Chains A and B, each alone.
Chain A
Amino acid sequence: MTDLSEFDDIPGTTLFTAQRSRKGYWLNQFCMSLMKAENRERFRADERAYLDEWPMTEAQKQAVLKRDYNAAMAEGGNIYFLAKIFATDGKSYQYAAGTMTGMTQEEYAQMMLRGGRSIEGNRSIKEAR
Chain B
Amino acid sequence: MARITAGVTCSHVPAIAAAWDEGRAGDDYWRPVFAGFDWTKRWIAENMPDVVVLVYNDHASAFSLELIPTFAIGCADRFEIADEGYGPRPVPAVEGHADLAWHIAQSTILDEFDMTIINKLDVDHGLTVPLTLMFGQPEAWPTRIIPVPVNVVQYPPPTGNRCFLLGEAIRRAVESFPEDLNVHVWGTGGMSHQLQGPRAGLINREFDTAFLDRLTTDPEALRKMPHIEYVREAGTEAIELVMWLVMRGALGEHAKELYRFYHVPTSNTALGHIVLEPTG
Contact = CB atoms under 8 A, between A and B. Distances in A.
Contact of B85 (A83, A115, A118): A83
Given A83-B84, A115-B265, A124-B232, A17 B204 contact: no
A116 B201 contact: yes
A100 B201 CA distance: 10
B59 A80 contact: yes
Contacts of B236: 13-15
Nearest to A77: B196
A83 B265 CA distance: 20
Given A13-B231, A32-B60, A117 B154 contact: no
Contact of B232 (A35, A84, A117, A123): A123
Contact of B60 (A7, A40, A84, A124): A84
Given A6-B228, A35-B83, A116 B60 contact: no
Interface of B: 14-15, 18, 59-61, 64-66, 82-87, 153-156, 192, 194-207, 228, 231-237, 264-265, 267-268, 270
A71 to B, nearest CB: 12
A11 interface: yes
Contacts of A31: 60
B59 to A, nearest CB: 4
B238 to A, nearest CB: 11
Contacts of A45: none
A14 B196 contact: yes
Contacts of B59: 80, 83
Contacts of A104: none
B32 to A, nearest CB: 12
Contact of B65 (A28, A36, A123): A28
Contact of B153 (A78, A101, A124): A78
Interface of A: 2, 4, 6-7, 10-18, 21, 25, 28-29, 31-32, 34-37, 40, 69-70, 73, 78-81, 83-84, 87-88, 90, 92-94, 96-98, 100-102, 108, 111-113, 115-119, 122-124
A83 to B, nearest CB: 7
A37 B83 contact: yes
**Which 6 interchain pairs have the tightest Cβ spacing?**
A116-B203, A87-B85, A12-B199, A12-B198, A112-B265, A97-B200
Nearest to B198: A12
Identify whether the interface residues of B are mostly helix, strand, loop, or mixed: loop
B45 to A, nearest CB: 31
B264 A115 contact: yes
Given A37-B87, A87-B86, A96-B195, 6 more contacts: A35-B83, A81-B65, A83-B85, A112-B268, A115-B203, A115-B264
Contact of A10 (B18, B192, B231, B265): B231
B64 A28 contact: yes
A78 B195 CA distance: 10
Contact of A88 (B60, B85, B154, B237): B85
Nearest to B226: A6
Contacts of A83: 59-60, 84-85
B85 A40 contact: yes
A98 B232 CA distance: 20
Contact of B201 (A37, A40, A70, A101): A101
Given A10-B231, A70-B197, A36 B83 contact: yes
B154 A93 contact: no
B60 A94 contact: no
A80 B84 CA distance: 10
B171 to A, nearest CB: 30
